Amino acid sequence: MTALAIVFVFGLLVMVHELGHFLVAKWAGIRVLEFSFGFGPKLVGYKGRETFYAIRLIPLGGFVRLYGMDPEPDERGQAIIGSPNDPYSYMNKPVWKRMAVIAAGPIMNFILAVVLFVAVFAYLGIPAEGKAIGSLAEGKPAVTAGLQAGDRIIAVDNTPTPDWDTLTQAIHSKPNQELVLTVERQGQTRTVTLTTEKDAQTGYGMIGIGPEIVYERVPILQTLRFGFNRTIEFTKFIVVTLAQMITRQIPADVGGPVAIAKAIGEGAQAGFSNLLGLTGVLSIQLGLLNLFPIPALDGSRLVFLAIEGLRRKPLNPEKENLIHLVGFVLLLALMIAITYRDILNLFVKAG
């Protein structure tokens, strides 16, 4: 199950990314030489009017090969980058069309995230905070006072708390203070006295409880809006987290393929809807990563195209390809180092 989930997630993420490049390249009038699912030796293939479609041995992604983008061997075996007069060559298209082709991959990853979130919410419903306690933090005042999951706190100091927002406001407003809670459990009412803790970051009063999550069925348009908003929220969260890591506000904690595979396996065991939600988050991460101006990624190609547009003449393709090659090697080395650390962490935790 874990192996199938890994193939499904990695394959879907990369194929949707490459599909974005493929569709916009076709729209822009660029000849697509190959569109392959997987890497390595070819298993099966089909030659269309101008594009070779293939399924390859390693089913972890795919690639699109555009005419005129990278050097291709001619009949003499020499590497050339398309004919300078061929209207179907990538290099002969306007800068804005080439930028659209490059940006289409990451954009498709964000679109995939929206689609997956909408699918999950359409199936499960929109998550909302219930009125009962859903989780408790160990060692906090709520656990010490004997509160349990499923309890409803209907009043704080004799002031009614009809919903979770009212309850949290009542608790937050009284740090390091004694509270009398009116608790409803299985139809019976009792009072519980406890003292809140003061949160070091916010200064709020806390007792260590979280709400139960209930799912509400809503019209499809609301589901679409919720899926779109959730994609924006995750994107903001990832960007802020990365910025905090770079500025050393929080410890750098980056996972490689091994950590991602482990998370996918856990998501698959938790159910298909959880796996789809995780895939949506990973799709956002892949889209953002590819927009970074790192050589060999889409972001760096967009930077080179922007420079070309400002200079009104193309950069030296050999120098640009060399930069992408060096960037790819460094990126591969970084990935190997992260993977090595992931494997060490697995052994340490197992030990």
Cβ burial, residue 87 (10 Å; 0-12/13-18/19+): exposed
* Segments of the chain assigned E as strands: 32-47, 52-66, 72-73, 79-80, 126-136, 152-156, 159-160, 178-185, 188-195, 197-198, 205-206, 209-216
- In whole angstroms, give the CA distance from residue 8 to residue 15: 10
- Residue 81, token pair as written in the block: 């980058």
Cβ burial, residue 338 (10 Å; 0-12/13-18/19+): middle
Under 8 Å between Cβ of 292 and 107? no
Under 8 Å between Cβ of 100 and 107? no
The H or E element containing residue 254 is none
18 assigned to active site: yes
89 Cβ contact partners less than 8 Å away, ≥ 6 residues apart:
30, 31, 67, 68, 81, 82, 83
Q: How many Å is the Cα radius of gyration of the chain?
A: 26
N- to C-terminal Cα separation, the chain = 25
Residues known to be catalytic: 18
